[in-house]
Amino acid sequence: MAAGVAVSLSLGGAPYGPARARAQLSGNTHVLIITGIPGEPRFAESFLTQARALAQALADKHGVPRKQIAILAADPTRDPNAIAGKATKAEISKAIARIDLAAAPDDNVLLVLIGHGSGTGADARINISGPDLTAGELARALAPLAPRTIAVVNAASASGDFTPVLAGDKRIVITATASSNERNETIFGEHFVAAFTGDGADADKDGRLSLLEAYRYAQREVRRVYERDNRLLTEHARLEDDGDGRGTADPDGAKGDGALARRFAFGGTAVAARAADDTVLAALLHQRAELERQIEALRARKDQMNADAYERDLESLLVRLAEVSRAARQREERP
């Protein structure tokens, strides 16, 4: 059986004060985590552990207000304080409807599914309480949330078939497997969660964690575990965010798949709070984000530019980005 499916969703409008500083860093992201039917006791514990750990890390380390994080699970009685309700189609639909009413147009929506998966094509599914939720049904449920940026992380077996069904403009789809043919239990989900709970996934050490960094970290750790145990790799994670419906195993984040996931980032709570009271730091963070946007736009135009002009402009922007990032770090470290 496959393990590791979760759904996280943006709930709520733009915040103010320190929360507003967080919004400037990564948009206003709210989280709903859904765990499916475990099938075995060990999965019941694993799924809930992953869900609670992700929720706590997002709140304590990554600047997501606790009131904007909720968990739906197969058995809410396992932890009534942490679980908001039962993971059924009806409750998931209600959660998405609440998001549509509450979220601003520029808010982010993150869906992470933790559980077992099966099926192919639009009928690929997550096993939840009552009738299963299919990829096609999830796509229709998410449609009203446009034009918000939506990320779906499906860490289950057979999850690869969700990609072409969910792909689209301002969509990020991360799956634990390349296709529905990879039906064995997966470990991608636990390592994706570990990217948020630990400190090793922030590759550029900028105090933020992007979905691209979390994906790369989980993918790397999955490969390491299989190699350590001398096992044949039976899950091949994919990321799709350029809208063509085809996932990429190793996106570089510069052009094509990975560019949107690199921008979908969570700011550290300490940095966000500091920026709320430090106008210089807030300005540096804003300038850094704008330079990153300009670099992405330049890379997207590479094929239409003179090679020398492209390299000159890119070098100039990268130097400025390095200078601003260094100044921001120095500002953050001031007593």
Three-state secondary structure of 99-143: HHHHCCCCCEEEEEEECCEECCHHHCEECCCCCCEEHHHHHHHHH
Predicted confidence at residue 24, as pLDDT, reads: 36
Q: Which architecture does CATH list for 18-267?
A: 3-Layer(aba) Sandwich (3.40)
Predicted confidence at residue 167, as pLDDT, reads: 97
List the beta bridge partners of residue 125: 118, 134
251 is written with which tokens?
A: 């996106």
Predicted confidence at residue 269, as pLDDT, reads: 57
Q: Distance between CA atoms of 58 and 42, rounded to whole angstroms? A: 24
Predicted confidence at residue 5, as pLDDT, reads: 41
Predicted confidence at residue 276, as pLDDT, reads: 66
**Per-domain boundaries in the chain:** 18-267, 278-332
Identify the CA nearest to 24 among candidates 295, 287, 329, 211. 287
Mean pLDDT, consecutive 10-residue stretches, the chain (335 aa), reads 41 31 52 91 94 94 86 94 94 90 87 94 95 96 92 94 96 96 95 95 84 96 96 97 96 87 80 73 83 80 89 91 85 75
Predicted confidence at residue 271, as pLDDT, reads: 65
330 is written with which tokens?
A: 């120095």
Predicted confidence at residue 267, as pLDDT, reads: 75
Predicted confidence at residue 48, as pLDDT, reads: 95
Rounded to the nearest 5 degrees, what angle is found at the Cα of 60, between the Cα atoms of 203 and 195?
30
Query: Global pTM?
Result: 0.79
